[in-house]
Structures are given as structure tokens and as C-alpha cells.
Amino acid sequence: MHEILVKAREEHYIPPEKRSNKYHGGMVEHKSWLGVLYTVILYAFMAIIILICIVPMWHVLTSSLSDGSILLFKKGIVWWPIQDSGAESMFNWGGYKLLFRNRGIWSGFLNTFIYVAGSTTLGFVLNVIGGYTISRKSMLSRPLALMLVLTLMFHGGLIPTYMVIKALGMVGTRWALIIPGCTSGIFMVIMANAFRNVPESTIEAAEIDGAGHFTIMFQVVLPQSLSIATVIILNTVILHWNSWYPASIYVPTKRNLWPIQLWIKEILAQNQPSSFLQAANPDYNKYLLQYCVILIASLPVLLLFPLFLKYIEKGVIIGGVKE
Amino acid sequence: MAKISFQDFSAYYKLKKKKYVLSLNKITLEIPSESFFVVVGPSGSGKTTLLKAILGGVELTDGLLIINGTSVENIKKKEANISYLSQEYSLYPHMTVYENVAFPLRRMRTDFQEIDLRVKTVLDYLKIDFLASRKPRQLSYGQMQRVAIARALVKNPRIMLFDEPFSNLEPTLKNELRLTLKNIHQEFKPTIIYATHDLTDAFILGEKIAVLNGGELEAIGTKEEIENSDKAFVRSFLSR
């Protein structure tokens, strides 16, 4: 028996200097033509989806750097910034200059930052506390979960909500844009599901180690559900970054409290020229400004995405894969 | 350290709402202070319930369970100073080995320098000081179990409960850890209660052994006394 093994070893042993350094992807070294076709189709499909996402953004970017008067008559996608034949530079920064000269844009940005930071922080704390409460086995957890699910299907509607917020004295203040929309029942339910994936024995161990509910919540359970928490945070950030409707209801006349999106809405959607646009005379600048303002408003969220990509990928597949 | 006594103690396990199953039936048992006590029995015999009862984690009980003169209901979890270790290790996956071991001390609001000193001493004692900066997923099962023992030991507990801690490990490692436990017991003198279904564990480690069957106490005594027991269940359990 031993001799057979020795012989087999001699026959099949590959000395280190002869071993290939290239990994062939397991046992299969060559793909079949069907495999190649599949890969090609997959890549082509992905390329189309990527193009569908990128082309509009590229169009907005190039348009914002074009000459407003020529842009007004240009039809189709602007692949490269278009300038007047006598222009000195390839890019026209006029739209941006005009935009940043406006105080409303700056205060809009500042307000949006305040609303996003406030809502996200408050919402996150509430999501964690609410999620933890539902995830634990207690008398209250089931009725509470039921109530949260009910809020997803039924809510008071705009006017009753407005009346409540008015009765609380929040109309016309920043709080009306921070507190009411900071969380949602679905976020708490998602958080609770993530917390339920933490093994019960870990929580028991923490209890024996002397940890109370808050320590278990923030130091044991939450760090093990960070990917889901990050996804929820990012969703809240995007939701509040893009939100203009609550501001148009709760602070319609207080322009100093307007978020950036309400300014954009005013610039883009209102037919009558605002004082801001009148300043941006001549008229074609109005057209150019739309692109500048869209780009400026979406840039921070776009920059945020790659930073959280790792967590988002993890968060999306979580629940499907049991580690 | 800590003497534990069960007097006519029954415990019920919650199956679902308003439905309980009797898990321990009128147990009367004395666990001497600083002893190494092994509870042995087949699955479902009530070993884990007995340990959980000492932790105060059983909802419905009957009879008396007294730890050092105080009934278990009157002992607050934070003040109990009991360690519990199961086969699941239950390490915190997001913390390093050092942070895992330091966790109970931080909850006790121990001084920062004291924490550092005690954690390093324990890690050194269990020969896992080189693992201090690793996360649990970077450890082998044996190393994980050592970290779990370190975490249990670091708060200098008066009672240590072990619930089949080595059942997942290979024999060589098991022997090594048994020896570690023996040394810990000799050096730090906690009251150790060790639940297992493995007779080898029971005979090697136990100063005193209790045999449980279906929630009832079948026999109690030293290794020799158990071996010479004339109870039918004990004889059949020994001859497995």
C-alpha cells in the first residue's frame, strides 16, 4: 500500500518551480462557448444599465458647462459642452457663478445639512431603540410591532398631520422638518429583523457580564448589524436630502428655513420668474441654471455613495445568507 | 467562596404562552463552597435548567435555591458575580480578544489601569496573550474557548458555570482544556459547576458528581460512589 502511495506521489508531484502561479478558477480551466456567450450578454446588459444611469448625469454636467444661449436651441443629448465659436474656454462657468452669487442657495444648503443631520441622528437613535424593543421577547414587542406595521398602511393624511404639528407649535420652525419625518415604521421593523439575527447566546452572555439594555443595544447588538444600520442611515439621508414637500407646507413663507430642494423646485418648476431669476438676466440663463442647480444638489449624495458601498452590498444580501 | 443549596427545588421550562414543562423535579442538593461539582446526565435531563436556575434565569420555580445564605430571587444579576460558559462560546464578533475579555470589567466600572492589568494577566495565564488584537473569526475553536474561559475568569467570579463547554472540541484539545480548568480551580478556588453528558469529563474533573435523569436527581457522590451505585439508571448510564 505504501509503495503505491509513494509511486502515485512521484508521478503526480509537481515541484514548486514548475507550478503555475496563475489561478484558473478551480478545476475548469477553459470556459465553454455557452459560458463565454453568457458572460458577453451579462456584460452587455450591465453596460446598457450603466449607460442608462450615466448618460443623463453626463448630459446635465455638460449642459451646465455650456453656453446658455446656444444650449437653448440644442436638441438631444449634449455629449460635450457647447460654446460659442469665439469662446476662449471650453467650459462656461457662468451658470455656477450666477448660482453661487445667490444667497438662497447657500442658506438652502446649510438648512438641508441641518435637516439631514438632525433627522438622521434622531431617526437612527429611534430606529435602534424601536428595533431593539421589537426584537426582544417581551409582552410589549408584538403589539408594538403590529402598531408599527399599521402605520405603514394607514396614516392620518396631510391635514390631520398638519393640525397635530401645528398644535405642537412646530409649524414655521426647523423642528417641523426634523422631527415628524425622522423615522418610519419600516426602518424599525428592518432594524428589528437585523437584531434578531444576533445569536441569543451572545445577548445572554452580555447580560451575565453585567450589561443592561442600553449597553446590549449599542455595544453588542448594533455593531453586529452595522451593514443594515448603514443602509437605513443612507436611505434616511437621501430621503431628507431630496425632500422639499414638507418644507413647502410647514415653512412656505420663511425663505431662510428653506432646504436646497425647495429652492431648486422654485427655480425649475415655477413659471413666473422669481426675483432670483430676474437677476439672472438675460433669459437663457434660466435654462442653464437648471442644470447647474441639479448637479450641485445631487453631488453630495453621489459622493456619499462610494464611501458606503461596502456596507450597502452587505446590507442588501443580509438575511438571504446565514453565516 | 459560595455554597449553593437546592431544597425541594423544581423548575419549569416555558414551552409557549401559559404552557410550561417540568424540567427539574424537587431536587435537594448541596454544592459545597470551592468545590468542583459535575452534573451529568443525558440530553433533556435538566442540566442546563439547573445552571440557569443558579443564574436566576428560570421564570417559574418552586422550592428554595440559596446561594451563600441568600435566596436566588433576591440576588441582582449585576451583583451575583457568576460566570457562565457554554459550548457556543458567545464571543462578541465585532470586538478583539482583548475587548471581549475586558467587557465584563468595563460593565463593573473597574478602573482603566486595573482592567488592563487583569486582562493581560488572564490572557497570559491562559497562554493566549498573542491573540489579544485578533477578532474571534480569526481564531480556532480551541482558541475561542480559551478566550471564553478568560472572559469568564477575568472578573474573579465566586461561581463558574460550565454547560458542556468542550463538547465540540477534538479529544486532544479537550484534555488540554480539562487540565486548564483543573488548574484554574486549584489556583483561584471558585465554586465550579460543570454540566456534561460525557462520563469521562465527569470522572476526570468532578470532586463530586450528581446524576440527573428526566429532571430527577438519581445519585450523588464521589466517582467511586457513583461507580458503585446500585440504581438501575446509573448502572445503565455508566455502561453506555
C-alpha dist (Å) from residue A284 to A86, A267, A270, B130: 18, 13, 16, 70
Rg of chain B (C-alpha set)? 18
Question: How many residues does this entry show for chain A?
Answer: 323
- List, in order, residues 6 or more apart from B52 with CB less than 8 Å away: B11, B58
Phi first, then psi: give them for residue B195, nearest 5 degrees: -95, 135
Q: Report the C-alpha gap between B67 and B30 in whole angstroms.
A: 10
Helices assigned H by DSSP within chain B: 47-55, 77-80, 97-107, 112-125, 141-153, 171-188, 199-205, 223-227, 232-238
pLDDT at residue A221 in the model: 92
Closest CB to B77 among A205, A207, A226? A207
CA-nearest of A232, A227, A237 to A198 is: A227
pLDDT computed for residue A84 by the predictor = 77
- Note the pLDDT of residue B38: 92
- Chain A touched by B118 (CB under 8 Å): no
Nearest to A220 among B86, B92, B108 (CB): B92
Q: All 3 cell numbers of residue A312? A: 450597502
**In degrees rounded to 5, what are phi and psi of residue B125?**
-60, -40
Inform me whether the C-beta atom of residue B92 falls under 8 Å from chain A C-beta atoms: yes
Per-residue confidence (pLDDT) for residue A323, from 0 to 100 = 39
CA gap B225, B208 in Å, rounded: 9
- Cβ distance of B90 and A201 shorter than 8 Å: yes
CA–CA distance, A266 with A290 (Å, rounded to integer): 10
| Residue intervals in chain A for CATH 1.10.3720.10 | 102-317
| Average pLDDT in chain A | 82
Which residues of chain A neighbour B92 with C-beta distances below 8 Å? 202, 205-206, 220, 223-224
State the average pLDDT over residues B189-209. 89
Give the cell for residue A2: 505504501
- In a 13 Å sphere around the CA of B98, the CA atoms on its Cβ side amount to 10
Round to whole Å and give the CA distance between A121 and A236: 10
Dihedral angle of Cα A207, A209, A211, A215, to the nearest 10 degrees:
-110
Closest Cα to residue A212, out of B85, B148, B155, B76?
B76
Tell me which of B51, B58, B94, B105 to substitute to probe the interface with A (most A C-beta atoms closer than 10 Å): B94
What residues does B192 pair with on adjacent strands? B36, B160
Cα separation, B147 vs A10, whole angstroms? 43
pLDDT per residue as tens digits for the range A72-112? 777 888 888 888 777 777 788 888 887 877 778 888 889 99
The model's pLDDT over B19-50, given as tens digits with 9 standing for 90+, comes to: 788 888 888 988 988 899 999 988 888 888 89
Average pLDDT over residues A14-31: 62
CB proximity B90 to A under 8 Å? yes
Q: Which three cell numbers stand for residue A128?
A: 435602534
Instruction: Give the position of cell 451563600.
Output: B68
Residue pair A244/B116 in contact by the 8 Å Cβ criterion = no
Span A17-21, average pLDDT: 66
- Cβ neighbours of A223 in B, within 8 Å: 92, 94-95
Global confidence as pTM: 0.77
Cell reading at B93: 464578533
Taking 60 as the threshold, does the pLDDT of residue A47 lie above it? yes
Percentage of the residues of chain A whose pLDDT score is greater than 90: 29
Q: What is the pLDDT of residue A26?
A: 54
Give the CB-side neighbour count of residue B80, counting CA atoms within 13 A: 29
What's residue B172's pLDDT? 86
- From B155, which residue of chain A is nearest by alpha-carbon distance? A209
Domain definitions of chain B by residue range: 1-48+60-81+158-240, 92-156
The pLDDT, as a whole number, for residue A19 is 66
Its sign, for the CA torsion B106, B107, B110, B111, is positive
The CA-based angle A285-A286-A289, given to 5 degrees, is: 80
Smallest Cβ–Cβ distance between B93 and the set A204, A215, A224 belongs to: A224
The amino acid at B121: T
| B162 — pLDDT class (breaks 50, 70, 90) | very high
The residue-averaged pLDDT of B79-90 equals 84
Burial of A83 (0-12, 13-18, 19+ CB in 10 A): middle
Phi, psi of B86 (to 5 degrees): -115, 180
**CATH 1.10.3720.10 is the classification of domain A102-317:** yes
B174: number of Cβ within 10 Å:
20
Find chain A residues with C-beta within 8 A of B78's C-beta.
210
Cβ atoms within 10 Å, residue B81:
18
How many Cβ atoms sit within 10 Å of the Cβ of residue A69?
Answer: 14
Question: What is the spatial distance between Cα A118 and Cα A115, in angstroms, rounded to a whole number?
Answer: 5
Q: Do B84 and A208 touch (CB under 8 A)?
A: yes
CB B66 within 8 A of CB B34: no
Top CATH class, B1-48+60-81+158-240 = alpha beta
- Which DSSP string corresponds to A238-268? HHHHS--HHHHHHSSS-GGG--HHHHHHHHH
Q: What is the model's pLDDT at position A322?
A: 34
User: Left if phi > 0, otherwise alpha if psi is -120 to 50, otherwise beta: which for A76?
Assistant: left
CB A139 within 8 A of CB A172: no
Element (H, E) at B4: strand B4-16
> Nearest CA to CA, how far is B48 from chain A (Å)?
13
Length of chain B: 240
Q: Is the dihedral of CA A271, A276, A281, A286 positive or negative?
A: negative
A106-154, pLDDT tens digit by residue?
A: 888 899 999 999 999 999 999 999 999 999 887 788 888 888 888 888 8
Cβ atoms of A144 and A133 within 8 Å: the answer is: yes
The CA R_g of chain A, rounded to the nearest whole Å, is 28
Distance, first Cα to last Cα, chain B:
36
pLDDT in tens, A261-315: 888 888 776 544 455 555 555 556 667 888 888 888 888 888 888 887 777 776 5
Tell me which chain B residues have a C-beta less than 8 angstroms from the C-beta of A220: 92
What's residue A272's pLDDT?
47
Mean pLDDT, all residues of chain B: 87
| Cβ–Cβ < 8 Å for B191, B21 | no
Grouping H, G, I as helix, E, B as strand and the rest as coil, residue B83 is strand
Closest CA in chain A for residue B154: A209
The cell for A94 is: 457662468
Residue B135 above 80 pLDDT?
yes
| DSSP, res A274 | P
On whether the CB atoms of residues A127 and A187 are closer than 8 A, the answer is yes
Which pLDDT value is given to residue A318?
47
Asked if the Cβ–Cβ distance from B103 to A209 is below 8 Å, we say: yes
Is B90 in Cβ contact with A210 (below 8 Å)? no
**Cα distance between residue A280 and residue A274, in whole Å:** 10
pLDDT at residue number A273: 47
Note the pLDDT of residue B141: 85
pLDDT band with cut points at 50, 70 and 90 for residue A21:
low
